[in-house]
Every structure is written in structure tokens, then in C-alpha cells.
Structure 1
Amino acid sequence: MTRVSRVVFLLILLGLLVAGLSQQLPKASWQSSLADALPNQVSETQRAYLESQQPNTQQLLIAFEQSGHSAGELRTIVESEVAVLLQREPTLKRAELTDTKAFLSFYREHAGRLATKQDTERLRAGQFNGLISDAQSLLQSPEPVLVPVTQDPLLLTQRYLKSLPDLMPGYKNHNGLYSRTDGETVQVLVPLQIAGDALSINQTQQVVAQLHGFIRAVKQTDADISSYRSGLIFHADAGAKQAKQEMTWFGGLSLLLVLSVLIWVFRSPFQLFYTLSLLAVASAFGLLATLFWSSSPHVLMLVFATSFIGLCIDYVIHGFIARSHGASAWKALTPALWLGGLTTIAGYALLLAVPLPLLQQLGVFMAAALFSAVLLVTLTLPWLPKPKQPQAKWQRFCEKAEAGYCRLQRQLPSRWLTVLPVITVVILIAAHASNDSVRLLASSPKPLLEEENYLREHTSFYFSPEVILVAGDTRQQVIERTSLVDESYHAIGISSYYPPISQQQDAIELQRQLFESSEGVAFLQWLGISAPKLNAVEAAHPLEHQFLYPFKDLWLSVVRLKQGQAAASFGDKPWAQVFDPIEHASSALGEYRQSMQVWLGVLLALSFFVLFIFLNRGAALKEKAKASWQVFSVILLSVSTALLIAQLSQPLNLFHWIGAMFVLVLSIDYGVFCASRLQRSHALQAIYLSALTTLVAFGALTFSSTPAIAAFGQVVMVGVLVSVLFCPLITAAPTKDIKKDEVQ
């Protein structure tokens, strides 16, 4: 291909890339929720719950404590600042589950129809005098009457109001604020709710900034006021800030060191510019292929795809060094470059067979980006100006390393490279332990966790992540079924706030019998009213959207368990099931981990056969088999050693295996280049430089405070280090063709 035709071809490729991205990017709907990345192997009711709004993700609680002052003083200060906060931040509002005044009008409208089960049983037992006496005592007491007496003479609904779930036990409600006094300590709770998405980074930062301003405003009124925070939004904000800080320090320092090393070795800003440009273009091709594959890619795919940076830099460095040593070195490199690239591409293409959308997207991105990188390197480098050779000091270092490895090869037993990986694999399998908990995905600052635990211990504001899902064909059927579950577990569901129609009918009919009795007639005469005429009605409670969800052809009712409460199985109730979203997410991560394990095993086997067929094609069959087996052994040793060492600090999880994936594909490249026709010192110049940049860039992640990121970084650091130490011990197959083309 002539230089002109190559330029035309590249311009056509870039034009198609720009046109494709311009068309696909506006249509893309990026997914960021973990639920979007999980497999869809859930029941219909579980999927309905996962797609519904979960109150724990939206609720937050702020507490203030002060000693030596009255509750009224602190409450007045807090109430004033809450009004300012709600005015400044429209996405915040008072928590519905604790704001009883917000739905008091509903109970006034349905007065007389709603009665506690205890009062219904008293009516059924004919305890008319006791009920009438209770109503008269309440009417004659200072306590305000909250329901119309003409509609509910026995004030059954007022007593029903008192039986509603108390999420703030021990606290007194004051217009949505809760306070209590413990000795000289006064505490005021502010339960709030977010109207938007608590996991949206931009919205989270804005809301948390307003909340912290609110906390500061209250604490500035008196130095003795202390505060506590609780809620997912605070953890999401802390996680985002922590990630930003780690990216700034780890990413910035490692990038600075990597650029310094590249500039020192190559002494050319142009080579650095070329590397970054090729990385950007190849990544864009990978993104375009992913957008064609899926219109809803997941952001986690981009996180996992960062391994492409190391592979791309590896190819470019090999290309520069080969070009700097002349045409024969470049000619020797090209087959190895394509062999290493296509073997890795085939491995990533295998991910398309995994029934997990996230891994399929990763496979498409990596395969397209790697193919683009290899193609661009082989097309563009030959007609660029001949690059400078690496620093003389760097070349001498690699020549000494080659000489040292040659001496070591003569001293080592012939089968040591087979025995060592077998031993590490056996130990790894024997000691294997895994932990797929989603809690490894993030970690919160210790002070925030302490504040969270304090509030969870002193209130019932939050529910357990485990829920009971009740399904029904109609709204009333699902409410009826929910009431049966509520009775068994004393949990909180829609029937805790609104009884089913059948219970309303019972209460109305039993009251009618009371009003027709002599005691009832006398009571109505005492009140000076006639007997109310009531009918059971189907109405939507203001809190219904917190518990009831219509879904396709069924209704779903969510029964929420209090913290520390566990539900048993429902063998006699096939329409009810226990579901824990955290356990489900952890199980899904385990499924991803197992898929990654299978993928690594298949790629290991595939790499051996591909290398056996294509590596050093001019060599004798015995020598080809030996070289292929040595490359395979080094790959296996690198991956197994990295996982074995990582397992010493914590059980293996998905992110360990993602790191192992990166180690495997890099080890394939290192092994292919060491076993190919390249002069060994030239290959080591590129391999050591690539490994150094990878160790700096990804090894820094080992020090992350997020366990998942640290796990990834640790495996990459150990695996790449083992690979780069053992790859030079691979012996290339000596043939006449190799000797003829070898660069001296």
C-alpha cells in the first residue's frame, strides 16, 4: 500500500468515525445504576421491585444535640433553618413516612371506616359500653379531636391514627421535627426526603452542599450543638469526592511519572503526541462499536476498559523501538504484533458468548479498540519519520538484563517453567475463597459511618434491605394479602396505613349493630346526632406509592421489615416471597466472577493453540510446541501468582478477576514478543518500558481506600511484575529463517 493510499484510507476511517459518533452519541442512554448491570434472571415481582422507587435511597436524617438548653430553644432554631433549606433546595421535602399531618386529611375523609383490629374485635365481642366509654372520655379530655364526630362517633379512626407505625419511638412530633430530652441532653431530628435521584452525582453534590450549609447555620448559633448525618446521599457524595481525590493524586502523579519516563527514553514530544492521538482514536472506534452493539451502554464498562490504555501503549512502544532499529527490526515485529493483538482480540470476542450485558459491551469495546490500535500502528508507523532510538543507558540496561537471563537459563532445570505454575495453580485452587458482597464497591469515611450507625440505633427511620414481595391480580387482592403478611411479621406495608375493603366492611357493619342497640341509641342521643351512613370505599392512600406498584398484569405490594428483623419463607403463601436486593446484587456479582473465571480458562486454552499454530511458523514442530508451552506457562504463572498473593489479604471478588484478565492479555503480548524473531534486547526495551508504565499507572490503585479498586490494582501490579520477570526466560525457536532475518 502506497503512502498516498494509506493517507486516503486513514482519512476515510476518521471520517466514518466522526460521522458514526455524531450519529450514535446523541442516541446513547448511559446506565449508571448497579441494577442496570445485573443479570435479568429475577422473577417478575423482583424485577418490578428493582424498577420501583426504594425509599431508603431517598430518605435522609439529620440530628442535632445540645446540653443545658430546653428542647424548645433548639427546635426553634432548627425549624427556622429547615424553612430556609426547603426554600433554597426544591428537591428536598419533609419525609412522607414521618409527616403524619401531610395525610391527616385522608383519615378525616375516611373517618368511621378505619378501625384497629383490636377495636374491631371488641365490636364483634359486643363490648359496646367499653367503646362508648372510651369515646366519651376522649371527647371530654383536652386532647384535640382529629376526625368529624358526625362521621365517626366512636372515634375509632382517631385511635387508628395512634396505631400507625412509629418510626421515631421515644420522640415527640412537632410539625415534622422530632425531639426528646435525655437528662440534660436535647436532641432534635430532621427527617427529609429527596424528590430527585439520590445517585445522580451532579444533583448529589448540589443537595449535599445545601445540607452542609444548613448544618453549619444551625451549629453557628451555639458552639455546643453537635450534629449527625444519615442517608445514602451523604455516602454517595463522600464516595464521589473520595474517587475524585484518588484520581487527582494517583492518576495525576502516575501520569506525570509515565510521561516523564516516556520523554526520557524516547527524547521526543512527537512520539508522546502520536501515542496519545492513537490511543484517543482507537478508543473512539471501540466506543463507536459499543454504541452500535448497545444503545444503553453502562459506565462500568468504561471503567473496566481502562486496561486498553496499557495494551495500546504496549503496541506503540514496540513499534517505536522496532522502527528506531531499522527496517529489518520492524519486519520482524509485524507478525508478533498481529499475533499478540489477534489472540487478545479473540479472547475479548469470547465475552460475547457470556449472557451478561456488561461483559458483552466490554468485549465489543476492547476487540474493536485493539484491532484499531494494531491496524493504525502497522499502517502509520512505517511512513512516519524514523524515531530516535531509546536512551543509550536504557539500551545498555536491557542488554545487561538479556545477558543475565541467558546465564540464568543455562543454570535452571529444563522443566522448572512447567512445574512452578502448576504448583501455584494447585495452591490457589486448594486455598480459594471468594466474597462477592456489593459492599466492596465503595467505602465511606469512618466519621460518617459512626454517625450513620448512631442514628440507626436510636430510630426506626430506616428499613432492612430485605423485603417481602406480595403479588396479586388486583389492587384489593394484593392489599388483602399484604394484611395477612403484616399480621405474621409485624412489618410495615400499605395495610399498616390503610386496611383492605373487607376489614372496612366489617368495621362499618359492626358499628351499625352498635348504633342500633340501646347503648348505641343512648350514646347518639347524648351526642345529639344520628347514626352515620357509611360504605366501604376503595381509595388511594397518600403513601400508596411507597408500597404499591402496578406492573404489567399484576400488582406488587412491598412489605418492609424493620432493621434487624428477618423474614422466613412462605411455603403456604405462593404469592409472597422474601427478597434482599443486596444479596441479589452480590449474587449477580458472583455470577460475573464465575463468568470471568470461565472466560479466563477458555482464553488460556485458546492462547496455547493459537500460539502453537502461528508462533514462529518457520520453526520445527518440536521447537514451536516448546515456545508455545513456555509462553503459556508464564501466562499461567503470572495470573495464578497474582490471585494467590491477593487472596492472602482478602477473599477473591470480581475485581480481582478483572485485574487477572488484564494480566493475562498483557502476558500474552510479553510472551509473544519474547518468543518471536525480535532481537531479545530490543524486545526487552519495549516490554520493560510498557511494564513500568503499567505498574505505575495501575499499581497506584493498590493504595485506594475503596476495596474493589485496591483489589484490581494489587492483582495488576503483582501479575505484571511476575510476567515481566519471567517472560525473558522464554527461549525462541531457532530456525534458519530466524537467523537470516535477526537484527544484530
Structure 2
Amino acid sequence: MAILPESSFMASTTPPRHSPQRNFGSSSKFSLQAMLPRVWFALVIVLLAALALLAQRGIGVETNLLSLLPSFQKEPLLQKTVERFAEQVNPRLIFLVGHKNPEQARTAAKKMAVALRNSGHFASLEAEIQQNTLETWQQFYFPHRYRMLSPEIRQLLKQPDAVAATLHRLQEKLHSPLSAFFSRMLPQDPLLFFSSFLQTLPKPPGQVFLEEGMLTVQDHGKTYLLINGVLQHNPFNIGRQAAVQEALAEIIEQATLSTSDLEVLHSGVFRFAAKAAEEAQREVLTIGTGSMLGILFLIIVTFRGIRQVLVVVLPLAIGLLTAVTVCSLFFVKLHLFTLVFGASLIGVSVDYAFHYLAKHRLSAGQWNSWEGLWSIFPALTMGVVTSILGYAGFWLTPFPALQQIALFSAVGLLGAYGTVVCWFPLLMKAPPSVASPPVALVAVKWFLQLWDAIQEHRATPVVLIMLGIGCLATFNSIQFNDDIRALEQRSPTLQSEAHRIRELTGGLEVSRFIVVRGKSVEEVLQRQEQATRRLQSLARNDPQFDFQSLAPLLPSQKTLAENQTLLRDALLAQPERLKQGLSNMGFAPEVVELFVRELLNSEPHGFSVKDWLASPISKPFRHLWLGKIEQKQVSLILLGSRHDAQQITVALAGIPGVAYLNQVERISSLFRQYREALTKLVALSYLLVLGLLIWKYRLRKAVKIIGSPVLATLLTFALFSITGQPVNLLHIVSSFLILGIGVDYTIFFTAGHHAASATGLAVLLSAITTLLSFGLLFLSQTPALEAVGLTVALGIGFALLLSPLALTKR
């Protein structure tokens, strides 16, 4: 779109040249210039009303870092499996209370557990194993003792003379040091099969053991007591994080003050989420405040007026109002990542105001506010279109948060653009009150003269082309890092504490586990048993290998039936011999008769998963049964941190519906795929923008316009290659911003070549505010934002230096 001459665009609405301001009569009250301010005012009122309604509903703020991760549309079952598992694991908090004196550690842990329970922030908290826990287990499983057989008993019953082997084992148990314990079970379980089953039940992971009713760890002369808690509310609920943190800090402080030399460690998703939220809130304030102060300083120094300061605040405020309102309509929650990035949007949305104010500041003679707008309108419009195209690149990523940023930024820019176009001519009717040119204009003129001199040389195009080729030559040595962990925002203190807890407890992994799927509950249980047997084989060869499976707790109906058949075939084939053997050991005749009768009459059915989940015994293991997902039944097998992924994958080969899942590798692989795809898309986007520019400006001028952002992008990534800066998906995505913002500068120079000084001043101010915003973003503690900030700051810096390429000779 070329700059429309007054004769064609405004011939019907432009009054005589002597009139300083267009004079619209009643007949033209519905003209464009009369309508625009009113329409925009009505839209702003609608936005304010919508925001007020949304505020009543509550505008949610998301702090869950996992929501930044891509969704796996091609694997919805795995995606939902991961999500459901995360829902169960995320609210958990683990505490270790340690002291050199075991009794003091125990007393402090009990007191701390009471304080945590009374805080009201925990849905459940477990420090002591209740005395009736064993009784509960016995009540649930004991009726099924002849169907739930341990591997030891199954092996025993498969021997040629199973009766003799069984009686020999019983004789050994009755003469062992634990005979007093076993004697209580003998009347109802003469062969002590149930005690063997109890020994196969899952034990605490790693180095944790049960002592005096509490889970205990010992390390270097210290005794640590374990407290497991589940938070009452979502750990990512930003409205409750501060209260929970304060309560935890107070409880821990009281515990350490009450008991000298007491060590309290605690970790969980909540701590990392709260830290990330706190950091993000700080960054929103820092980046937003820094950008605003920088903009205010530039306005005051350049335009020397408080009025200009107030005018510039309008597009910023309405841009953010538009962005927050529209995003809240399309998204249930706004991510803090979006708000931090939105703070950097301030430096971009002010560009349109700067171009208008620069035109106003440097106007000579009579000033016409609407003519001032129309003279830059084509460039403003093309600029906002290309900027939105730049942000649209974020929408093409698999990251929900980046897609939200794309909408937030695009809508925010439209809000700022609409404010400048519709209201600035009314707000800036008066001519500039300062006659002297701004100081920055001296630097702008010198810079433009330098580029005039550079473009005089015939070698300039060749040098620039060779520079671009040289940059491309460095791309072979770019180091790519697609590891998702590189984008984690982790506090060294929290990481150290979490590592210490894992070191002490040998906890199970939550990012690497085995998924078991099946069409029915029975199919899942059978596949789970197959996988467990293979893992048990690995565990026998590697004492450090640890895992947690539901197979011992939830046997399949097939296994229960096989166990009962095996038991009957092995022992009741010679019932008299079995009875005689028991009688010889001193069992009363009625006990022997009852035992044989129960073997004969017991029904071959067990209990359902529903029964098990309803029982309190399932509480420590419920997170392993995910139930129905996408018409499939799903369960998990958790693994210890010390395991060989390749070995496990080989061991599980051939079992349908069973897969080893490494979330880190899975997401990192997706990162790599999207990075490679988006790299091609960046190149395609530049070609599409070039096509748009050719349609508007013809080939020669279009190449000049796009040459600056292209070379800026090449220089940025060449610098990454030379300095060894690892490049990931977000660096590639940021290339869209270099294109979208960088091409603005060259478009403004092309459209405003007849007023290069005013254009140069506006471009300089715009670039400074953008560099300030993204430079502050580079200081973010969130690696994802840091990557975007670094790439855009470098790219826009180069784009600014190269922007006069688009100028024709003056």
C-alpha cells in the first residue's frame, strides 16, 4: 500500500490549505474522521465492561510450568495418562525431620506433623503408621489367602512332592525365632501361606524402613523421620501459594527453634511452583516498570512535554486492556509467562505513538493532526500487519503458553494501533510548543548521513551479500540443545534440597515410568503381572534397582484361579497325607478339618479393583491406578532413579500395551522436531513477506526492505554459533519477531523517505524501547524468556543498524 496522495484520498474531505484543521460541517459528521474516535471509544467501553464481568468471574492466573509443555495430539492416551498422574503427584509434599538423637528427631517430627495438620493446608498428612494398619491389611486380604500366593509358595507347590515340601517349610517356620508371631495365625492359616504373601507386599522405597510406627532413614549418624503430605488445594493456585509458604516457614522455624540442631528438609512440586510464581511476579514488575521508565525518559527528553507522556500512556493502557480482555475470553487462565512477556510488549506497542509524535514534533509551519496521521497511516498499517505476522509464529508452536502469547501480543498491538489512529489526531491538535529540534535528531542525521555515504559505494551490496553468506557458513557449527531441562526455571537451593531428599530416601521417579494399558481391567492386570515378573528378574541381578507395581496387591482373576487350582491339585491330591502331617505337628483335628474344608469349598473369585480402591489399604498406592482413559484402562509402574532405560525397554519387549515412558526424552524429541519444522517455516515466512512487499513496492524496493531483518537474523545466529550459545526452539521462534519488528523499521523508512529525519527519530526511539524491553527480558530467571529476550534484543539491534538500507537516495 503506497502512501496515498492527498488528491486521491482526501480530496473530498480536505478543506482549503489555509485551514489549519479540517472543518467538518453537519453534513459530513459521519465522515471517517468524525466516526473513528467515537467508534473506538465505544469499543474501549465494551472492553472495559467485558473486563469487569470477567473480573467478577475471576481471571485465573496459571503458574504451572507443565502447562507450558506441548500437548501430544497424536498420542491422546499417553497425554491424558501423564496429566492424570501429574494431578495425583503434584499436590504432594515430603518432609524429612532429622537429628543426631533419634528420640529428639521422633518427638520433633510428631510435633511438626500436628502443626502441619492443624494449619488447614493439607488434605491428608501421614507421619505415623497407625496401629490398626496391619489389621486392616489382614481383614482385606486374609479371606483370599488361598488364592493370593507368593512366588515362594507357587514354587513350592510346583515341586513333585508338594505336600512334603509344604510340611517341611511349615516345620522350619515353627522352629524359627519368629515362631511366637506365626503361632497367632496357625488356627486360621495352618500352612502360614498368608505370612509369605505379606512379605511380598511393596516396601518403602530406597533406604526407608519402618521403626516404631514411623518411616525412618539413617545417614551419617543422623536419624530422619519421614512425613508425607497432600495439599488441600492445587499447588499452582497463585492465590494460596503465599499463605501456604508462610505457614510452612513458620512451622519449620518453630520446630528448629524448639529443638537445637534439628534439620528439616522438604520438597515437592509446590515449592518449585511457588518460587516460579514469585519470580515471575517480580519480573512482571521489573520489566514493566523498567520499560515504562525508559519510555517516559525518552518522551520527556525528546518531546519535552507532559502532554506527550499522558498521550503515550493511552495506547499502552488500551493495548494491555485489549490483550487481557480478549485472552481471558479465549483462555480459562492467563499464564504468568504471558504476563511477563506482555510486560515486554510495552516496548513494541509504543512504536506507533512515537511515529506520530515524531511527525508532530518535527512539523514545520502549520500542523494538521489528521494530515499528520494520513501521512504515516500506510506505514503504520503495514507495520502492525508485519508485527502481528511475527508474533503469529508463536501460534505455530506446540506450546499452549506461546500460543497464548501470540494472541495476547497481536491483540495488544491492535489495541495500541487503534488508539493512535483513532484518538491521536484529537489529542494532538495543537502544534508543537518547542521550536528547537530534539537532541537525538543530531545522532539520527549523522547516522543517516553515514548510510548515505555507505550506499554511495558500489561495493556495498557485494559486501552485504558476502556478509550474509559468511553468516550462513557458520550455521554448520551451531550447537542445538533440545533438552527440555534447559528451559526449567530451577532455584539452586530448592534443587539442592530436593536432591538431598532423593539421596536419603532413594525415591521413585515421576518423569520416567512404565505405562500399562488394556481394553479391560483384567487385561491390564495380566499385562501388569507379566511386566512385574520381568522387572523382578532385573532386580535380582541389580540390588540398587527399585520399582513399585500393583501386581502383588491386585492380582488378575486369571492368576487367582490358577493359584487356587495349583493349591488344590498339589495338596488335596493326597488329603489324608496332609492331614496326618498336620496332626503330627500338634494341630487339633478340628483345625485340620476346617482347613481342608476351606480349601475344597473356597470360591475361585477374588476382589475387584473398585473394592481395593475403596479400602484404606490402597491409599499409598492409588496414584498407580489411573483407571479409564480414552476407552482404555491404565495403570503405572514407578521406577527408582537408578535404572537403565535400555535394559528396561528390552526386558518389556513383546508385552502388548506396556511401554517405558521417559517424559524428558519424549518432550525433548518433540522440541527437536518442531525446531526443525519451524526453521523451515521461518524461511518460508520471510519469502511470504517478501512476496507481500513485492506486490506493494515492486521487486527492487521489496528486497531492500526485507534485506535488513534477513541480515539481522543471520548475524544473530552467526553470533550464537561463534560464541557457542546453544540454540533451541525458542531462539528459532524469536526469528519471527525479528522479521515482524525489524521489517517495520525499513517500511517506515521507505514510506517516509521524504521526511527521513522524522522517520529516523521515530525508528530510533522505537528500537530503544524494544531493546529495553527485550533486554530486560534477557535478564529473566525463566530460561524460555531469556532465550526470547536475547534473540530479539540482538536481532532488533542489528535490524536498527541496517534499517536505512531501505532509504532511497535523498
Give the TM interval when normalised to the shorter protein: 0.7 to 0.9
Q: Which has the larger radius of gyration?
A: 2
1:451 alignment partner in structure 2: 497
Deviations 1:119-151 (A, max 9, x none): 221133212123322553479645488x96554
Task: Return the match for 2:120 from 82, 86, 89.
Answer: 89
Equivalences for residues 454-603 of structure 1 within 5 A: 454-463=500-509, 465-490=511-536, 491-511=547-567, 514=571, 516=575, 517-518=578-579, 519-520=581-582, 525-526=587-588, 529=591, 530-531=594-595, 532=598, 534-535=602-603, 536-540=605-609, 541=612, 542-543=618-619, 545-548=622-625, 549-565=627-643, 566=645, 567-568=648-649, 570-603=652-685
Shift of 1:437: 2.3
Deviations 1:137-179 (A, max 9, x none): 479645488x965543333333333332333444432466323
Equivalences for residues 235-634 of structure 1 within 5 A: 235-287=272-324, 289-290=326-327, 300=337, 308-324=345-361, 325=363, 326-327=367-368, 330-346=373-389, 361-385=404-428, 386=430, 388=432, 392-411=438-457, 413-416=459-462, 418-420=464-466, 422-463=468-509, 465-490=511-536, 491-511=547-567, 514=571, 516=575, 517-518=578-579, 519-520=581-582, 525-526=587-588, 529=591, 530-531=594-595, 532=598, 534-535=602-603, 536-540=605-609, 541=612, 542-543=618-619, 545-548=622-625, 549-565=627-643, 566=645, 567-568=648-649, 570-615=652-697, 624-634=698-708
**TM-score, scaled to structure 2:** 0.80
2:97 alignment partner in structure 1: 64
Q: Distance in 1 between matches of 2:278 and 2:446?
A: 46
Cα distance change, pair 547–643 in 1 and its aligned pair in 2 (3 A): same
Q: Does structure 1 retain, via aligned residues, the 8 Å contact 2:549–2:638?
A: yes
Task: Return the match for 2:760 from 676, 684, 687.
Answer: 684
1:723 alignment partner in structure 2: 799
Bigger Cα displacement from structure 2, 293-302 vs 261-270 = 293-302
Q: Distance in 1 between matches of 2:208 and 2:462?
A: 71
Q: Distance in 1 between matches of 2:347 and 2:514?
A: 46
Q: Distance in 1 between matches of 2:622 and 2:656?
A: 24
Bigger Cα displacement from structure 2, 316-325 vs 274-283 = 274-283
Shift of 1:27: 9.6
1:704 and 2:797 aligned: no
Shift of 1:362: 4.7
1:8 alignment partner in structure 2: 38
Which amino acid in structure 2 is aligned with residue 65 of structure 1? Answer: G
Q: Distance in 2 between matches of 1:222 and 1:562?
A: 33
Q: Distance in 1 between matches of 2:485 and 2:40?
A: 46
2:70 alignment partner in structure 1: 38
Q: Distance in 1 between matches of 2:550 and 2:508?
A: 16
Deviations 1:200-232 (A, max 9, x none): 333444333333333222221333223333322
1:105 alignment partner in structure 2: 136
Bigger Cα displacement from structure 2, 397-406 vs 630-639 = 397-406
Task: Return the match for 2:741 from 648, 662, 666.
Answer: 666
2:789 alignment partner in structure 1: 713
Corresponding residue SS for 2:482: coil
Shift of 1:291: 5.7
Gaps in structure 1 of 5+ consecutive residues: 616-623, 735-744
Cα distance change, pair 274–587 in 1 and its aligned pair in 2 (3 A): farther
Q: Does structure 1 retain, via aligned residues, the 8 Å contact 2:690–2:706?
A: yes
Q: Distance in 2 between matches of 1:527 and 1:222?
A: 59
2:166 alignment partner in structure 1: 128
Gaps in structure 2 of 5+ consecutive residues: 1-30, 537-546, 613-617
2:10 alignment partner in structure 1: none
Corresponding residue SS for 2:660: strand
Deviations 1:390-448 (A, max 9, x none): 96322233223333332333357231464155225413532233222222333323232
Cα distance change, pair 182–248 in 1 and its aligned pair in 2 (3 A): same
Q: Distance in 2 between matches of 1:671 and 1:721?
A: 13
Equivalences for residues 640-659 of structure 1 within 5 A: 640-647=714-721, 648-659=723-734
Q: Distance in 2 between matches of 1:484 and 1:178?
A: 30
Which amino acid in structure 2 is aligned with residue 73 of structure 1? Answer: Q
Q: Distance in 1 between matches of 2:548 and 2:112?
A: 31
Which amino acid in structure 1 is aligned with residue 748 of structure 2? Answer: F
Cα distance change, pair 463–153 in 1 and its aligned pair in 2 (3 A): farther
Q: Does structure 2 retain, via aligned residues, the 8 Å contact 1:89–1:210?
A: no
Which amino acid in structure 2 is aligned with residue 8 of structure 1? Answer: R
Q: Does structure 1 retain, via aligned residues, the 8 Å contact 2:121–2:233?
A: no
Q: Does structure 2 retain, via aligned residues, the 8 Å contact 1:405–1:729?
A: yes
- Work out the percentage of aligned pairs sharing the same amino acid: 20
Which amino acid in structure 2 is aligned with residue 192 of structure 1? Answer: G
Cα distance change, pair 12–45 in 1 and its aligned pair in 2 (3 A): closer
Corresponding residue SS for 2:236: coil
Q: Distance in 2 between matches of 1:440 and 1:283?
A: 30
1:208 and 2:245 aligned: yes
Q: Does structure 1 retain, via aligned residues, the 8 Å contact 2:705–2:747?
A: yes
Which amino acid in structure 1 is aligned with residue 81 of structure 2? Answer: Y
Deviations 1:690-715 (A, max 9, x none): 11122222202323343322222211
Shift of 1:293: 5.6
Shift of 1:56: 4.5
Bigger Cα displacement from structure 2, 723-732 vs 347-356 = 347-356
Which amino acid in structure 2 is aligned with residue 636 of structure 1? Answer: V
Q: Distance in 2 between matches of 1:24 and 1:237?
A: 25
1:737 alignment partner in structure 2: none
- Paired residues, what number? 723
Deviations 1:310-352 (A, max 9, x none): 3311111111111332446544322221222233345556777
Q: Does structure 2 retain, via aligned residues, the 8 Å contact 1:229–1:448?
A: no
Q: Distance in 2 between matches of 1:405 and 1:720?
A: 18
Q: Does structure 2 retain, via aligned residues, the 8 Å contact 1:57–1:198?
A: yes
Task: Return the match for 2:750 from 675, 682, 685.
Answer: 675
Which amino acid in structure 1 is aligned with residue 624 of structure 2? Answer: F
Bigger Cα displacement from structure 2, 583-592 vs 332-341 = 583-592
Bigger Cα displacement from structure 2, 414-423 vs 376-385 = 414-423
**TM-score, scaled to structure 1:** 0.87
Cα distance change, pair 581–416 in 1 and its aligned pair in 2 (3 A): same
Q: Distance in 2 between matches of 1:49 and 1:104?
A: 33
Which amino acid in structure 1 is aligned with residue 120 of structure 2? Answer: E
1:618 alignment partner in structure 2: none
Cα distance change, pair 193–363 in 1 and its aligned pair in 2 (3 A): closer
